Structure 1
Amino acid sequence: MTSVSSSILTALGAGSGIDTSSLVTSLVSAAKEPKQTAITTRQTLNTARISALASASSSLDTFADALNSLLAGTGYSGTPASNDTSIVAVSALPGGTPTGLPAQIEVQQLASARTLASTPVSGATSSTAVGEGQLTLTVGGNSATITIDSTNNSYSGLATAINNAGLGVTASVITDTQGTRLVLKGPTGEANDFSLTSVSGTDLAQFAWSGTDSSTMASMSDPKDAIIKLDGVEQHYASNTIDSAISYLRIDLNKASPGTTVTLATSEPTTSMRDLMVEFVDAYNTLMKALNTATATGTDSSNAGVLNGESSIRDMKRQLSQMVSTALTTTGTYKTLNDIGVSTNRDGTLSLDTTALDKAIAADPTAITQMLNPAVKTSTNIGLAGLMDSVRDNIKKDGGPLATSQSKYKALASDLTDQLDKLDTQMSDYQAQLTKVYSAMETRLSAMKATQSYLEQQVALWTKSSN
């Protein structure tokens, strides 16, 4: 007959071979997994939202930057040109559109540099010794010491030392049928004249020059400023490359031609405002469709957009939609995109009535160009790129809805990570508690089993004695 105590011991594993360690692990897993799943599910959604917000912000930047780049290109602004490149050549500088064109320029004088040459020495080479000592090179008030010793005592060593002085004077050694000589050339411009004076070393004194020619060193050309007349105003520059006379325009002076006027102008844009609006509407719609997908309601959470209900994206869409009715200029018949055929669809995308646009361009092409892409942006005529920049800056400003949402989801990501860490700690404590409980139970069951065994032995002895 099976005893009650034997049945209990068997069920609880005393001597039954049941692994209480596995039992503890199973109980901990059963308690942990639902909570862990709930947290990781929230983590997955939160990560997707962080990524989607970053993507929306990046897409906005891409749209605005592409529009700026497009309007800054020569296709919409035209290419700077000179009608006589043998005298003056021009090219656009990055960052903006040249203003003040067309302009008239007269090159009265090219900038030149001081050039010195030593007397040729017959039979000498670049490795011929020039003597040890020191020279002082002075350029426009800045000086450097040129030292010649046993390591660089040669024409080439002297030239290298002058070049390494970093004052803009270039030295070279020329050997021809006349012999070998040192040639020095300074920076262009009157203010960049230079001198080379002897400090020590009798032999090095042959290369000294401080304004007066000698039998061993002579000036071949004088330093001069470039002199131009731009729209009748005389201007002086130290270089033949000028990038400050006209904003965003590089002017290269190639030849002096006093009395000859060269016209600097801008060629006609190769791309029309019509093409601009087609590209703008297409790019805008690509951005808006992506935002619509991210905020789609869906029939349930499984097919809803990851940013469904996100207020910052609703705000972004609202501000973008206001672009079509925002005044780009305060004057003229055409002031907004609505005025030239742009309208908003129910889903937030745009439509372009090319017939209305063509009619507006035909009626006043200059006004349309100035409205969309002004030569000079002002507070009342910001242009299409200026408007896009303003909308972007407002959407992405510190403390705005987008920045607030990004901060919120980043904070939640940190909190969810902390929750997982806390859950791990709690479950470790729970496992330790269960292990302690079952270890104590095993000890008690072992003692009970020993008592049972003793009693069974005694009963067996009593039974045998009575027989």
Structure 2
Amino acid sequence: MDTNFVSALGGGSGIDTTSLVKQLVEVEKAPQQGRLDSKKETLDAQISAYGILKSSLAEFQSMLEPLSDNDTFNARSVSFPETDVITPAALDADAQTGSYQIEVIEVAQAQALAINTAVEDKNASVNVSGALTISLGAWTYDGVDNDNPIAFAENEDQTALTLDITSDDSLQDIADKINGADSDVQASVLLVDGNYQLMISAPSGEDNALRISADDPDLNNMFAFNETLRANVTETQQGNDAELKVNGLTVFRESNEIKDVIQGLEFTINKASPGDKFTFAISADKNTAEDAIRGFVEAYNTFYETAKSLTGISTNAETNETSRGDLATDGSAKTLLNSIRNIISTTVPGVSEFNALTNIGIRTQLDGTLEIVDKEFDAAIADNFDKVASIFAPQTSSTSSYVDVSVGSYATNTVAGTYSGAITTAPSKGSAVGDTAPALPLDTVASPGDYTFSVTVDGVTSGELTLSGSFATADDLRTEMQSLINNDATLKEAKAFVDVVIESGGEFKLASREFGATSKVAIATSGVEFAAASGLSTASVSTNGSDASGTINGDAAFGSGNVLLPKIDTDPYGLNFTVRAGAPAEDFSFTYSKGFAGELSALFDSFLSGSGVIKTREDNINNQLDGIEDDQVSLDRKMDVYTDRLTQQYLAMERIISSFQTTGDSLTGLVDRLPFTATS
């Protein structure tokens, strides 16, 4: 309240005590309030400056991403001619450079089978039931018109599917069951001349043709397509491989989507065009890396100018006035900038030569920014491009041809450098070896008996399997056994598979496809005739697999299968070591480099993390700001008390003065009323 009611009513001293108190309080508060306001203004400016610094760091870090990717330095370009024979689909960063000539002789196509049974209602029951088995493999056709399939060789890489057909199933139901199975076989119900027919198609390729059989006569008569029965099924299209010539070399592929003929180049065959040859070249694309490096230098200079303006003193070129950055007195910000400058000017850990920016013509100028010396930079790109890549991108190497080093998912804190390692045990797969070579030829129909068997693979035991058919060679029998085992439902569900190979003595060897101590194969059960024919029995010798073992940088490594992992929290932890089978017990050395971009990005991550220097400093500033708020409350409270005290003091003075005035008024005219006095 600013109104002095005592003075307004004509009483008291006549002094404006309210205004006087206010002025005295302001004089008392001013220096303390000034200190608080100045400190708050400084801290607010520092918080804002750290926000700018973080944004600049994040933007600069994003420019490092291409340089930390080896694909940037493995980029490729292709000069492809205009043609409708093939269409390029993808060019990988590590595509094999060179000149290529391609001629497409034949396109791949899928076998298609039409079930001749036609029905008016595709959803009506076809009244057959049983187990329908569809296998994939290659048919051998007769030499007359090449229309009659006479022998089938099952594809070891494909698994057969067995469908349970019930008497209530319609053509559409059967098609749905085929399409719903875990297989590349597809089925469709087509409307042909007013009736519906089932069409079954295989994946493209000669080795993916279909063989269909059933355990029920009626089901077999309707759907079978095999060596002995196929009267009700028409092969509308045979399966063929794509055939092409690459630089004169004939190549066959199952699909028209070609991904593995020329390393890193994917293309699609559209049509056959024998005699039509076209040439193209794949070359290294150095421009991608060069642009990324130049972009990095530009981004660094932008960041450095921003950081320098925040942490240093700048001079206005026009007025020659100097101004101090908001973080000029902040030690944390200056340390951050110095750390970045140190990485810029030092060698890259883990790279023995050509390991600094100066090696490729990137120099630090007097003002702290970077410049590219074009002559040196162009020479480095032209003559030492691989070494340029080793400066920027992560690199791993091993002196052992049996050990591959790769960067794992925990490599964030892996320390770059050169380390030692040792292999003491090579990884192996569990296996079972036959007692004798198989007895061939074998015809299970002509020589009936107990040809059942079961196997245990990696701790999982198959169901009962039955060997049947006629086998002229060991390879025929090997193929059938591998197909039987790997198509077992129990083993397929557990993803426990084997490879059946023929040993040098002719014995069969069943080997797990997994490395490690849990890798095991054994003959669980064997019929008498099966054992005699295959040479495999429950007495066959089984050998368990083994995990790789060894040391990494002097510490015992953790081995699992064919992988070795360094001890946790050691410098190489985060790297993965893949050991090949048959590796000898030997010492080796390996090198890991994060690359310049990786080292700098890791530093930025530490700055920007939740526990990094920027977050710590921001928390400290915010705590100080909270303290200023508390000090402001305390000061305001103190000034309120001071105001009340001064107000009370001046009120007391006013009361005294008022009392004096009352006494004076009472004395006024007193003399006139005294005896023997008169006024003149």
The answer for the alignment partner of 2:259 in structure 1 is: 243
| Structure-1 separation of matches of 2:359 and 2:97 | 27
Residue 184 of structure 2 corresponds to residue 168 of structure 1: yes
Superposed counterparts of 1:382-461, under 5 Å: 382=389, 386=393, 390-398=595-603, 407-425=612-630
The answer for the alignment partner of 1:284 in structure 2 is: 297
Contact (CA 8 Å) 2:106, 2:241: kept in 1 or not?
A: yes
- Higher normalized strand content (fraction of residues): 2
Contact (CA 8 Å) 1:281, 1:350: kept in 2 or not?
A: no
TM-score, normalised via structure 1 length? 0.61
Residue 113 of structure 2 corresponds to residue 116 of structure 1: yes
Say which is worse superposed, 382-391 or 288-297, in terms of deviation.
382-391
Show CA shifts across 1:405-440 (max 9, x none). 992221121122233334445655676788799999
Show CA shifts across 1:263-291 (max 9, x none). 7642678x997x98699657734642552
Show CA shifts across 1:220-239 (max 9, x none). 44555556676687766443
Say which is worse superposed, 62-71 or 162-171, in terms of deviation.
62-71
TM-score, normalised via structure 2 length? 0.45
The answer for the alignment partner of 1:464 in structure 2 is: none
| Structure-1 separation of matches of 2:66 and 2:77 | 20
Question: Per the alignment, in what secondary structure is the counterpart of residue 182 of structure 1?
Answer: strand
| Structure-2 separation of matches of 1:40 and 1:252 | 66
Could you say if the C-alpha distance between residues 405 and 41 of structure 1 is closer, same or farther in structure 2, counting changes exceeding 3 Å?
Answer: farther
| Structure-2 separation of matches of 1:161 and 1:26 | 93
Contact (CA 8 Å) 2:80, 2:280: kept in 1 or not?
A: yes
Question: How many Å apart are 1:193 and its aligned residue?
Answer: 4.9
| Structure-1 separation of matches of 2:645 and 2:359 | 83
Residue 308 of structure 2 corresponds to residue 295 of structure 1: yes
Show CA shifts across 1:103-148 (max 9, x none). 46676765443322111627x36x4524367665656326464677
Say which is worse superposed, 171-180 or 298-307, in terms of deviation.
298-307
| Structure-2 separation of matches of 1:19 and 1:424 | 25
Question: How many Å apart are 1:98 and its aligned residue?
Answer: 1.4
Show CA shifts across 1:269-316 (max 9, x none). 8x997x986996577346425523431431499745566673443454
Say which is worse superposed, 62-71 or 36-45, in terms of deviation.
62-71
Superposed counterparts of 1:254-269, under 5 Å: 254=270, 265-266=280-281
Could you say if the C-alpha distance between residues 222 and 26 of structure 1 is closer, same or farther in structure 2, counting changes exceeding 3 Å?
Answer: farther
Contact (CA 8 Å) 1:116, 1:220: kept in 2 or not?
A: yes
The residue type equivalent to 2:260 in the other structure is: S
Say which is worse superposed, 100-109 or 172-181, in terms of deviation.
100-109
Contact (CA 8 Å) 1:98, 1:247: kept in 2 or not?
A: yes
The answer for the alignment partner of 1:369 in structure 2 is: 382
Question: Of 95, 98, 101, which residue of structure 2 is paired with 1:101?
Answer: 98
The answer for the alignment partner of 2:46 in structure 1 is: 45
The residue type equivalent to 1:78 in the other structure is: S
Could you say if the C-alpha distance between residues 384 and 233 of structure 1 is closer, same or farther in structure 2, counting changes exceeding 3 Å?
Answer: farther
Contact (CA 8 Å) 1:60, 1:287: kept in 2 or not?
A: no
Question: How many Å apart are 1:52 and its aligned residue?
Answer: 1.9
Could you say if the C-alpha distance between residues 197 and 279 of structure 1 is closer, same or farther in structure 2, counting changes exceeding 3 Å?
Answer: closer
| Structure-1 separation of matches of 2:62 and 2:38 | 36
Question: Per the alignment, in what secondary structure is the counterpart of residue 396 of structure 1?
Answer: helix
Question: Of 196, 207, 211, which residue of structure 1 is paired with 2:226?
Answer: 211
Question: Per the alignment, in what secondary structure is the counterpart of residue 298 of structure 1?
Answer: strand
Question: How many Å apart are 1:393 and its aligned residue?
Answer: 1.6
Show CA shifts across 1:429-465 (max 9, x none). 6767887999999999999x99xx9xx99xx9xxxxx
Contact (CA 8 Å) 1:25, 1:431: kept in 2 or not?
A: no
Show CA shifts across 1:342-389 (max 9, x none). 7765443436567x999x7xxxxxx963534x5xxxxx4637865998
Residue 60 of structure 2 corresponds to residue 59 of structure 1: yes
The residue type equivalent to 1:241 in the other structure is: E
The answer for the alignment partner of 2:126 in structure 1 is: 131
Superposed counterparts of 1:71-86, under 5 Å: 77-79=76-78, 81=80, 86=85
Question: How many Å apart are 1:71 and its aligned residue?
Answer: 6.0
The residue type equivalent to 1:295 in the other structure is: K
Question: Per the alignment, in what secondary structure is the counterpart of residue 141 of structure 1?
Answer: coil
Q: Unpaired runs of 5+ in structure 2? A: 1-6, 136-157, 396-593, 666-672, 674-680
The residue type equivalent to 2:618 in the other structure is: A
The answer for the alignment partner of 2:199 in structure 1 is: 183
The Cα RMSD (Å) is 6.1
Could you say if the C-alpha distance between residues 314 and 180 of structure 1 is closer, same or farther in structure 2, counting changes exceeding 3 Å?
Answer: same
Question: How many Å apart are 1:218 and its aligned residue?
Answer: 3.7
Contact (CA 8 Å) 1:146, 1:162: kept in 2 or not?
A: no
Contact (CA 8 Å) 1:121, 1:178: kept in 2 or not?
A: no
Q: Unpaired runs of 5+ in structure 1? A: 361-366, 375-379, 461-466
Question: How many Å apart are 1:183 and its aligned residue?
Answer: 0.9
The residue type equivalent to 1:81 in the other structure is: F
Question: How many Å apart are 1:395 and its aligned residue?
Answer: 1.8
Question: How many Å apart are 1:48 and its aligned residue?
Answer: 1.7
The residue type equivalent to 1:313 in the other structure is: L
Question: Per the alignment, in what secondary structure is the counterpart of residue 186 of structure 1?
Answer: strand
Question: Per the alignment, in what secondary structure is the counterpart of residue 80 of structure 2?
Answer: strand
| Structure-2 separation of matches of 1:204 and 1:30 | 103
| Structure-1 separation of matches of 2:252 and 2:595 | 39
Could you say if the C-alpha distance between residues 276 and 203 of structure 1 is closer, same or farther in structure 2, counting changes exceeding 3 Å?
Answer: closer
Residue 346 of structure 2 corresponds to residue 310 of structure 1: no
Contact (CA 8 Å) 2:314, 2:323: kept in 1 or not?
A: yes
Contact (CA 8 Å) 1:103, 1:265: kept in 2 or not?
A: yes
Question: How many Å apart are 1:100 and its aligned residue?
Answer: 4.6
Question: How many Å apart are 1:250 and its aligned residue?
Answer: 0.8
| Structure-1 separation of matches of 2:609 and 2:126 | 73
| Structure-1 separation of matches of 2:163 and 2:630 | 72
Contact (CA 8 Å) 1:98, 1:249: kept in 2 or not?
A: yes
Question: Per the alignment, in what secondary structure is the counterpart of residue 168 of structure 1?
Answer: coil
Show CA shifts across 1:191-225 (max 9, x none). 6555666689x987665336354333344445555
* Identity %, equivalent residues: 16
Question: How many Å apart are 1:165 and its aligned residue?
Answer: 3.5
- Considering Cα pairs closer than 8 Å and 6+ residues apart, tell me whether 1 or 2 has the greater RCO: 1
Could you say if the C-alpha distance between residues 439 and 312 of structure 1 is closer, same or farther in structure 2, counting changes exceeding 3 Å?
Answer: closer
| Structure-1 separation of matches of 2:46 and 2:248 | 68
Question: Per the alignment, in what secondary structure is the counterpart of residue 295 of structure 1?
Answer: helix
The answer for the alignment partner of 1:363 in structure 2 is: none
Contact (CA 8 Å) 1:168, 1:187: kept in 2 or not?
A: yes
The residue type equivalent to 1:119 in the other structure is: N
Contact (CA 8 Å) 1:82, 1:89: kept in 2 or not?
A: no
The answer for the alignment partner of 2:503 in structure 1 is: none
The residue type equivalent to 1:284 in the other structure is: V
Question: How many Å apart are 1:38 and its aligned residue?
Answer: 1.4
Say which is worse superposed, 36-45 or 307-316, in terms of deviation.
307-316
The residue type equivalent to 2:620 in the other structure is: D
